[in-house]
Amino acid sequence: MQQPSVLGIVSYKVFPAQMGGQKCVVSFYRHLATLTRVVLVVHKDNPPATDDWQQASYPIMYHHKKGPVNLLNLFRLRKVIKTEQIDLVCIEHSYLGWLGILLRWLTQKPFVIRSHNIEAHRFRDMQKPWWPLYQWYEKQVHRQADLSFFITEEDRQWAIDHWQLVEEKCTVISYGTDIPGPLPEVIRLQARIRLLKENQLPANTRLFLFSGTLDYLPNTDALRIIISELLPLMQATHIPFRIFICGSHTTAAWKKVLHNTPGIIFKDFVPDINLYLNGSDCFMNPVTLGSGIKIKLVDALAQDLAAVSTRSGARGVNISLTGDTLRLVDDYNWPAFVRALFEQADHTPPPLPESFYQFFNWDHIVQKALLSLQTV
């Protein structure tokens, strides 16, 4: 079957890819471009194409928060589709699903929505009063789409059950990694020694890590949980520890709190998160809100870093793929969560199973995506 030329439409800044959502977009298209032609239409704030894999890039889109303004790009997009000989359109998130419908009407080209989570659930968690209206809209655009990519099986099944989507038109296309397997232990040891030295910590200090985009509600709520629920329980053990918190888009109020909370070392945005992923003893993921996959958890596990997560925070990560590297704890059972943290930090689990790296391998993921795209 002929490989389709794909137009990816992204309504926000993704270059350079630093945050989880940006990495999810850029890595997907970068790997897909090794198999078929990819053209990107991105937000105006993105720089011109500089990477070799970008055969063409058009930074012309308005942010999805100004969604209707993108009507001004409608005929320009039609011209791009014609000029670049595009076979199908892939729209990131449901925000601009309506644009896919209009472009299909104008060009007879099918469109795909690549969902990163159930957006209506995110707006509900943010207590937006209009979230039911968005849920109605999200349902309609997915029902109109020729194909829907969901990032977890949980999201896919929820959409099929609640939006009455055709099962054959729904595929799980997960987040991935380029890491081929567990890191040599010497790399982890060197990183740990460096973190202890740079932060003037005793050798017996347990090092925990939490990272993410820190203005994103599920992560902000996780910060609240760390400070109000977990820290008092951790301090009561009298075991020496520190929690590294790394992330971008932290508000001034949160920066003040994090800088002044004993037991926390706030690093803000760090250019090399791998130092902390390699040198920490355990990744903590006390996230209870939101749908989709927690990219930071996949990144931590890919580095073979022991992790503890709530069950809600581990959606999209099959426990059968993680061995003892990931410990799941029931949501809101914080005493059990803290016990698991110290157990994971003090116990080096066996290397992550090879099946994890096979399932979350980007090349494997885009091959699956291309097979689905060829059916449209």
Region 168-195: mean pLDDT is: 95
Q: Can you tell me the distance from the alpha carbon of 70 to that of 54, in angstroms, rounded to the nearest whole number?
A: 22
Answer whether residue 329 is part of any domain. Answer: yes
Question: Which one-letter amino acid corresponds to residue 223?
Answer: L
Count of residues in the chain: 376
150 and 290 in a common domain: no
For the domain that residue 328 is a member of, what is the CATH number? 3.40.50.2000
- Residue 1 clears pLDDT 60, i.e. is over it: no
Q: Which of 124-128, 193-197, 335-339 has the lowest mean pLDDT?
A: 124-128
- Residue 370 clears pLDDT 90, i.e. is over it: yes
For residue 67, the model assigns a pLDDT of 84
- Residue 291 clears pLDDT 80, i.e. is over it: no
The tokens for 43 are 């937000």
Spatial CA neighbour of 116 closest among 146, 155, 147, 151:
151
Q: Which of 18-22, 229-233, 260-264, 343-347 has the lowest mean pLDDT?
A: 18-22
By percentage, how much of the chain surpasses pLDDT 90? 85
Domain coverage including residue 365: 6-176+361-373
Task: Give the pLDDT band of residue 136 (cuts 50, 70, 90).
Answer: very high
- Residue 282 clears pLDDT 60, i.e. is over it: yes
154 and 61 in a common domain: yes
Residue 141, phi then psi, degrees to nearest 5: -70, -35
For residue 277, the model assigns a pLDDT of 96
For residue 183, the model assigns a pLDDT of 86
For residue 87, the model assigns a pLDDT of 97
Task: Give the pLDDT band of residue 347 (cuts 50, 70, 90).
Answer: confident
- Residue 235 clears pLDDT 80, i.e. is over it: yes
228 and 154 in a common domain: no
- Residue 149 clears pLDDT 60, i.e. is over it: yes
247 and 334 in a common domain: yes
- Residue 10 clears pLDDT 80, i.e. is over it: yes
* Rounded (10°) CA dihedral 223, 224, 227, 229: -120
Region 339-346: mean pLDDT is: 97
Answer whether residue 1 is part of any domain. Answer: no
Answer whether residue 281 is part of any domain. Answer: yes
352 and 209 in a common domain: yes
37-77 residue pLDDT tens: 999 999 998 877 666 666 568 999 999 888 899 999 999 99
198-225 residue pLDDT tens: 999 999 999 999 999 999 899 999 999 9
Region 168-176: mean pLDDT is: 97
| Total count of domains within the chain | 2
For residue 190, the model assigns a pLDDT of 97
138 and 37 in a common domain: yes
